[in-house]
């Protein structure tokens, strides 16, 4: 009688091993393949357009889905209900640091999270004044300020500011 149970026990053990192996394969290997496949899916790259201001001696790469108003002293870049603004301020200072340190609007103490950069060969500073994120770019006795207070446009601002080109 014991000999009759031995093959049944062996069959049950083999069935448990096969079932456990299949469940392990399904749980770990198939999920890994699904995760890797989802990582391969990328969002479409937004299209960009070049913009050259006729008044401010600059050019920028802008997302194609926006409106641009090129004014005599500023550029207004509009996305539905939000904006990025670019202005140029003339200065007698020889550097961006001098401009910031000596500004009448107390920029030296106002700019938080300040980071010094070089954008296309020009002295630059990135930072925040309250909710306003801004880039200051110094070129030949002028400071270009590109900014927005719309947090949903911070990434667009980064891309636009880093595409800055001085075009005298």
Structure confidence by residue, pLDDT tens digits, 20-71: 666 665 665 555 444 444 444 444 456 888 999 989 999 999 988 889 999 9
CB atoms within 10 A of CB 155: 9
Q: Is 57 left (phi over 0), alpha (psi -120 to 50) or beta?
A: left
Mean predicted confidence (pLDDT) in 138-166: 94
How far apart CA 71 and CA 87 sit, in angstroms, is: 9
139 with 91: CB under 8 angstroms?
A: no
pLDDT at 18: 65
Mean pLDDT of 97-108: 89
Of the CATH numbers 3.40.1160.10, 3.40.1000.10, 1.20.80.10, 3.30.70.360, which one belongs to the domain with range 48-166?
3.40.1000.10
Torsion of CA 76, 78, 81, 83, to 10 degrees: -50
Residue 15's pLDDT band (cuts 50, 70, 90): low
SS3 83: strand
DSSP class per residue in 114-165: EEEEEETTEEEEEEEETTEEEEEEEETTEEEEEEES-GGGHHHHHHHHHT-E
The tokens describing 150, both together, are 């719309």
**Residue among 79, 83, 76, 82 at smallest CA distance from 55:** 76
Where in the chain are the domains? Answer: 1-42, 48-166
Residue with token string 């904006």: 83
Would you say residue 14 has pLDDT above 80? no
């Amino acid at each position: 009688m014991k000999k009759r149970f031995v093959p049944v026990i062996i069959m049950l053990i083999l069935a448990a091993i096969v079932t456990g192996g299949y469940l392990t394969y399904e749980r770990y290997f198939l999920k890994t393949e699904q995760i890797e496949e989802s990582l391969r899916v990328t969002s479409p790259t937004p299209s960009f357009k070049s913009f050259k201001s006729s008044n401010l001696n600059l050019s920028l790469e802008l997302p194609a889905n926006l409106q641009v108003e090129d004014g005599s002293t500023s550029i207004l870049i509009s996305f539905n209900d939000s904006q990025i603004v670019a202005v140029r301020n003339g200065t007698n200072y020889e550097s961006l640091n001098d401009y910031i340190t000596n500004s009448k609007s107390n920029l030296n103490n106002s700019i938080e999270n300040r980071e010094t950069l070089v954008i296309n060969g020009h002295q630059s500073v990135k930072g925040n004044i309250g909710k306003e994120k801004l880039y200051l770019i110094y070129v030949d006795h002028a400071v270009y300020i590109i900014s927005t207070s719309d947090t949903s446009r911070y990434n667009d601002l980064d891309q636009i500011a880093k595409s800055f080109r001085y075009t005298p």
